[in-house]
Amino acid sequence: MRINRVGTSGLEVSELGLGTFEWGHRVSAETAQELVDAYAEAGGTVLELPSFASPAAEVVGSLSLPSEIALIARVGVDVDTRGARLSLGRRTILTQVESLLRRTGRDRLDVLVLEGFDAQVPLAETASALDTVLRSGAVVHVAAAHHTGWQLAVLRAAGIPLVAALSELSLLDRRAESEVLPAAEYLGIGVIAGSALGRGILPGRYATGVPRDSRAAGAGREWVTEKLTAESEQVMAGVTKAAAGLGVSPLDVALAWNRALPVACSLVGPRSVAQLREILDSELVLEPEIRDALDQISDP
């Protein structure tokens, strides 16, 4: 698997990252260990937790992880009697970092991701908290998710040493191309593409409905079904046509499109080793004219 440098930092990551969206739900600890073993054997180096509160953290804490695996974890969403809210104050950051270290059984978090841009907390306070965890060695690198281009620039200007921006990016969601990618290139930070398979839609599982064992039939149904639109059907038709013409699967086409993007890593979330191996075995490179056609079909 190809290894990429993240922006101008010293962080290096594999081109595919292993997401843990359903670990602790429909993916058991036993299956998670099998996924990690197969992924690491293929040269993968990135394990991503979907949120601070995810049960995946406890699953990770029960696994035997190779030293080459870098853990990406998120902070900033605080849950109390008022519900869930964004909070990047000093107390939240320090408390959540300590909790993540305990739950995952790690002595450090390789990449700490700020879950959003908190306009209610002074940037100096957020920067101070991050400086504390960086200096202590509890955190190695800092990244930001769900930020616009100007917000990434503001964080950098405040002295926060961002190395990466995490943003959903696939043929079904290309919003990051208009602002996040250009801003990241200008700032010298890398991009990690989330949901590289369009929340599981691009492999074609939903072409004739919602399978009973699919993500859209379970607890994550809203996260998937909001992407099952007339526009996504049009994109899927193009992906399916391209796949048929090339004699490959829609998954191959989707991954090949992402592989050509200026991103350091694309995140995928297989639930089984069979699904993971299909992803790992995909090595398609799209010809320019096919990529251009897909770009036109999926143009946001």
Give the global pTM: 0.94
How much is the CA Rg of the chain, to the nearest whole Å? 19
**Any residues with CB less than 8 A from the CB of 126 and at least 6 apart, and which?**
88, 89, 90, 93, 114, 118, 158, 160
Please tell me the predicted confidence (pLDDT) of residue 27: 96
Please tell me the predicted confidence (pLDDT) of residue 207: 75
CA-angle at 30, arms to 24 and 32, nearest 5°: 60
Please tell me the predicted confidence (pLDDT) of residue 289: 97
Q: Which amino acid is at 220?
A: G
Q: In this predicted model, what pLDDT tens digit does every residue of 3-33 receive, in sequence order?
A: 999 999 999 999 999 999 999 999 999 999 9
Q: In this predicted model, what pLDDT tens digit does every residue of 284-299 receive, in sequence order?
A: 999 999 999 999 999 9
What does the alpha-carbon distance between residue 16 and residue 42 come to, in Å, rounded to a whole number?
10
**Residues facing residue 142 across a β-bridge:** 112, 162
Alpha helices in the chain (DSSP H): 29-41, 56-61, 90-104, 123-136, 149-157, 180-187, 221-225, 230-246, 250-259, 273-280, 288-298
Q: Residue 105, by phi and psi: left (phi above 0), alpha (psi -120 to 50) or beta?
A: left
Q: In this predicted model, what pLDDT tens digit does every residue of 32-74 receive, in sequence order?
A: 999 999 999 999 999 999 999 999 999 999 999 999 999 999 9
Please tell me the predicted confidence (pLDDT) of residue 218: 65
Q: In this predicted model, what pLDDT tens digit does every residue of 247-282 receive, in sequence order?
A: 999 999 999 999 999 999 999 999 999 999 999 999
| Cβ atoms of residues 221 and 187 within 8 Å | no
What does the alpha-carbon distance between residue 62 and residue 68 come to, in Å, rounded to a whole number?
17
What does the alpha-carbon distance between residue 206 and residue 178 come to, in Å, rounded to a whole number?
28
Q: Which residue's entry shows tokens 């306009």?
A: 119
Please tell me the predicted confidence (pLDDT) of residue 293: 96
**Residues facing residue 12 across a β-bridge:** 5
Please tell me the predicted confidence (pLDDT) of residue 111: 98
Q: Across residues 175-198, what is the average pLDDT?
A: 97
Q: In this predicted model, what pLDDT tens digit does every residue of 90-132 receive, in sequence order?
A: 999 999 999 999 999 999 999 999 999 999 999 999 999 999 9
CA-angle at 215, arms to 87 and 144, nearest 5°: 30
**Residues facing residue 4 across a β-bridge:** 13
